[in-house]
Structure 1
Amino acid sequence: MLRIARSGRLVALVASTALVLTTVQGPAHATPAQATPPADPVPAELASGWLVGNLKNGLIETASEWEGETFSGPSYGTSVDLALALDAVGGHDAAVAEITDAVAGGVETYTGSGGEVYSGSAAKALALAVSQGRDTASFGGIDLLGRVEDRVITTGASTGRLEDLSAWGDYANSIGQAFAAGALTAAGSPLADEVTDFLLAQQCDAGFFRLYFNADKDAAAQSCDAASPAVSPEQSADTTALVALQLASLAGSDPAVRSALDRAATWLVSQQQADGSFGDPQNGANSNTTGLGGWALATLGRDAQAAKAATWLRALQVVDACAPGPLKGEQGAVAYDEQGWNDGATYGISDPLDRSQWVIADVQALPALAYAPASTRAEGASLRLPRFAKAGTKVTVTVDGIAPGERACLTGLGATRQLIGSGDVLRVSVPVKAGTSRPTLLTATTKVQQAGGLTVLGKKKLKVRVAKKQVKRNARVKVTVRGLAAGERVTVKVRGKKVAQGKANRKGVFVRRVKVGKARGLAAVKVRGQYATRTGVAKVRVR
């Protein structure tokens, strides 16, 4: 257990995989209705449901490897992340309360015991306690506010800086500093301004916030831009987004914070890829970074960019109706990246290490998914295809109304076709064999079938009968054609001249009285169905 706790602490404080709350003054519900275009609530609802279903005794469990062995256990950091994410999207008060109670029950394990204090974890726990209106002087039996305040340097060049009290070293960084700035401000702490000022000093000229502070706490230069030229600060969208989300609650009364957020927003927009994703040099585009970046952009008023991020995330979300077999039953889960999706589709995500990656990805994607664009088609999804198709050819299926990034699938035409909405009409070309089918379009919420389905017509000799074998010149003769498909188009020719056309009835029969013309002799009555491969002939003698 000790090894797991140490490993988890380093992940939370060094790898910057934590989520945050937009404001720590109370419930910070996302407002997707302000997004452009209007938002679809379904992706966030699916993600919330899946994540709540993964709680065990109020906590999220994750797994890690240590010297070749896998260890699983409660992750307080990820559990706090989930509580804040659920609070942000709204509608899950009971689950948030359950998580908060469970975190309070293990707050010393999470924030430090035996005389140790992990300042970032303590600040993050304080953010949760404040957001839920809990007693910060007795959260889980400890004075959490006092614990955070005690870890703030109050004199010298590093005034306002957090520092850890730990035999393992000092891993305090801008993420924990941001949690402290927001939480201490909300709690009315006299140290809030100093903590916020030190955090603002960590913003670099380009607009991003660096993760790590100067190693020398006594050096006169403690800001990013005053750091040694030999030290190149890491440009991290994760860190900048996390800091911006915490600072957002302070912007209303502080021009310096507003200016910092404007610069951070501009930098984040410059880091977003054309497809809406965010990433980093080591891991490429991923849902962790994209989730944080998208949420921050929405909070900072960049709705169009937030919608693009949410669209990218939605394409990695499991929709049960269209899920590959190994992912059935995991509706709402979000993959870390495309490789993660492919691995999950092949092997499933029951392995603790695999599942941990999906859980953490979904937690960080959840708030951003609240800004996923809705379908531009008010009537919802639609499916259009020809009534008939020729066997051995391809039929074009037109699909409209799938929201950008939304997963859908087309069934009933052989192998299931996976679709991802782009906001535009999709056209899918599918090879078909003879037979009748009911193609179906499935999404997380809809099932669309075209009335009548699709009939694929193969080569066939039609049965053609004339009522009389001999008729007078210019007479009419009754022609009956059988073996047609219901509604199939029919053309009748006598001596090469078209004399009738129409459609077969529900029983696949076509009946017409046709003129035989004035020429005497044997006349061929030729019938063509929907396609040239479907023909029949009869003969009548004209006297």
Structure 2
Amino acid sequence: MVVRLSRHRLPALLCGMLAALTLVTPAAAAPVPAGAVRADAAAGWLARHLVDGERFEAVFDGVAYPDQGLALDAVFAFAAADVADDFGARALAWVTRPDVRDGYVGDGVTEAYAGATAKLALAVAVRGGDPTDVGGVDLIARLRSLQSPGGRFADLSAWGDFSNAFSQSFAILALNRSAQGVPAVAAEWLAGTRCPDGGYPLLPAQPVCVSEVDATAVAVQALRAAGRWADAAAGLGWLVSVQRADGGFTNADGTANANSTGLAAQALRAGGRPLAWARARVFLAGLQVGCAAPVVDRGAVDFDGGVFDPATATRATAQAVLGLTGTGYAELSRATATTGAPTFPCH
């Protein structure tokens, strides 16, 4: 999920998930046999598809644009799977390079993006770094400066405010790891966006409150981190209620996919819903590419189980790893991660 938009990445975001990130020829996904799912191999595939071993890019009209958000998703996936720690270090080093960093979070003067700032701060903390000093930038202080008196974290930009449920949730998750902790008003604001059915919308204050799987999955993790147990429980209950019979979850257009299911599965396990998590994990396992596929594709998690598309598989795999392991954002750590990019075992 993209958490903010800026002029630096507008062309790339227009092409979204369809951007061609590799030159691998699409082939039919060959599902992994039941019980053989490998989160480590999925993370290994993701690591091997980093451009120059450090970054992801989106290509639009022949121009490659940096995709810092996807690189951070990979950092989270490597920590969740406890592998590819060397790749995680390089990916974070790339995102925190001043020119790359400021193209993502803003310069802090004319532009500052709450969701991007929060996501980067969380990734730095997950890798054991100090978010208050990222190349001389205090991401925690900047994030707090973007909070309104009412508790909402909003963007500072001439291009508008693109903050949403992800921005608020990542802000809470990042601040939960800071010395000052989470401002109560921030969690209260997020809880106040809840829809009547118990889920959470991507955008607040709409004429009709529509719960979304991805937004709810991240919001309940943030609310639990902030101690808002009842508000999180309502969201978890809604997730269980919309889970498909096959264990999967759909996005806004009704497509059951690895991205939404991965985030929902992560939230369900972290939120103490093991049976629903197990069902979601079975669905994700069915999307993992196995030994019948070309070697270059093995271990990846396909977006929806159709014709394998590496352009969508990168983000799908990154978020699927979170669901396969079930490690919540609040618990992620690279402390025990090993180096290297595991491959899918085929005999």
- Report the TM range for the smaller structure's normalisation: 0.7 to 0.9
Asked whether the 8 Å contact 2:80–2:321 carries over to 1, the reply is: no
Q: Give unmatched runs, 5+ long, in structure 2.
A: 1-5, 18-33, 327-343
Q: CA 1:70–1:294 in structure 2 vs 1: closer, same or farther (change >3 Å)? A: farther
Q: For residue 276 of structure 1, what is the aligned residue in structure 2? A: 247
Q: 1:10 to 1:208 in 2, by over 3 A?
A: farther
2:156 corresponds to = 165
Structure 1: 5+ residue runs without aligned partners? 16-38, 215-226, 345-353, 372-443, 448-543
Q: Find the counterpart in structure 2 of residue 78 from structure 1.
A: 70
Aligned with residue 308 of structure 1, among 276, 279, 297: 279
Q: Partner of 2:302 in structure 1?
A: 335
Amino acid at match of 2:305: E
Q: 2:101 aligns with which of 98, 101, 107?
A: 107
Q: Which has the higher strand share?
A: 1
Helix, strand or coil: the match of 2:57? strand
Aligned partner of 2:83 in structure 1 is 91
- TM-score, structure 1 normalization: 0.53
Structure 2 vs 1, CA of residues 10 and 266 (structure 1 numbering), >3 Å: closer, same or farther? farther
* Larger CA Rg, structure 1 vs 2: 1
Partner of 1:6: 10
Q: Kindly tell me: are residues 322 and 202 of structure 1, through their superposed partners in 2, closer, same or farther at Cα, counting changes over 3 Å?
A: same
Q: 1:189 to 1:7 in 2, by over 3 A?
A: farther
Structure 2 contact 43–83 (Cα < 8 Å) conserved? no
Match of 1:143 among 121, 128, 138: 138
Partner amino acid, structure 2, of 1:365 = A
State how far apart, in whole Å, the 1-side matches of 2:148 and 2:158 are.
18
Q: Which residue of 1 aligns with 2:126?
A: 131
Structure 2: distance between partners of 1:169 and 1:10: 16
Measure how far apart 1:75 and its partner are: 1.0
Which residue of structure 2 lines up, in the alignment, with residue 189 of structure 1? 180
Residue 87 of structure 1 aligns to a residue in which SS? helix
CA distance in 2, matches of 1:99, 1:446: 28
1:360 maps to 2:315: yes
**One-letter code of the match for 2:96?**
A
Question: Residues 4, 359 of structure 1: CA spacing in aligned structure 2 closer, same or farther, 3 A cutoff?
Answer: farther
Matches within 5 A, 1:39-438: 42-65=37-60, 69-105=61-97, 106-113=100-107, 115-154=110-149, 159-189=150-180, 192-214=183-205, 231-250=207-226, 254=227, 257-319=228-290, 321-323=291-293, 327-339=294-306, 342=307, 344=308, 354-370=309-325
Q: What secondary structure, in the 3-state scheme, does the structure 2 residue paired with 1:269 have?
A: helix
RMSD after superposition: 2.5
Please give the secondary structure, in 2, of the residue aligned with 1:167: coil
Query: Between Structure 1 and Structure 2, how many residues are aligned?
Result: 306
Higher helix proportion (structure 1 or 2): 2
Return the offset for 1:42: 4.7
1:59–1:74 CA contact under 8 A, matched in 2: no
Q: How far apart, CA to CA, are the structure 2 residues paired with 1:284 and 1:337? A: 7
State the partner residue of 2:21: none
1:142–1:9 Cα change, 3 Å: farther
1:95-148 Cα deviation digits (max 9, x unpaired):
322222222112211101362111111111111122223222221331211111
CA distance in 1, matches of 2:323, 2:159: 34
- Letter of the structure 1 residue corresponding to residue 57 of structure 2: T
The one-letter amino acid paired with 1:62 is E
Is the 8 Å Cα contact of residues 57 and 102 (structure 1) preserved in structure 2? no
CA deviation vs aligned residue, 1:347-374 (integer Å, no higher than 9, x gap): xxxxxxx422111111111121236xxx
Aligned identity (percent) is 30
Question: Per the alignment, in what secondary structure is the counterpart of residue 316 of structure 1?
Answer: coil
State the 1:11 CA deviation. Answer: 8.9
C-alpha change, 1:163 and 1:207, in structure 2 (3 Å) is same
For 2:250 and 2:242, the matched residues in 1 are separated by: 8
SS at match of 1:128: helix
Contact 1:40 1:370 in 2 (8 A): no
Q: What SS is found at the alignment partner of 1:59?
A: coil
Distance 1:11 1:125, change over 3 A: farther
C-alpha distance in 2 between matches for 1:204 and 1:119:
23
CA contact (8 A) 2:44 2:84 kept: no
Paired with 2:267 and 2:11, the residues of 1 have a C-alpha distance of 27
Q: Distance in 2 between matches of 1:234 and 1:59?
A: 37
Q: Give me the TM-score of the superposition, normalised by structure 2.
A: 0.80
CA distance, structure 2, for counterparts of residue 144 and residue 9 of structure 1: 24
Cα 1:203–1:41 change in 2 (3 A) is farther
| Deviation at residue 293 of structure 1 after TM alignment | 1.1
Secondary structure of 2:318's counterpart equals helix
Task: Report the counterpart of residue 457 of structure 1 in structure 2.
Answer: none
CA change 1:290–1:70 in 2 (3 A) is farther
Change beyond 3 A, Cα 1:104–1:235: same
Ranked by relative contact order (alpha carbons within 8 Å, sequence separation 6 or more), the top structure is: 2
- Structure 1 SS opposite 2:63: strand
Q: What SS does the aligned partner of 2:115 have?
A: helix
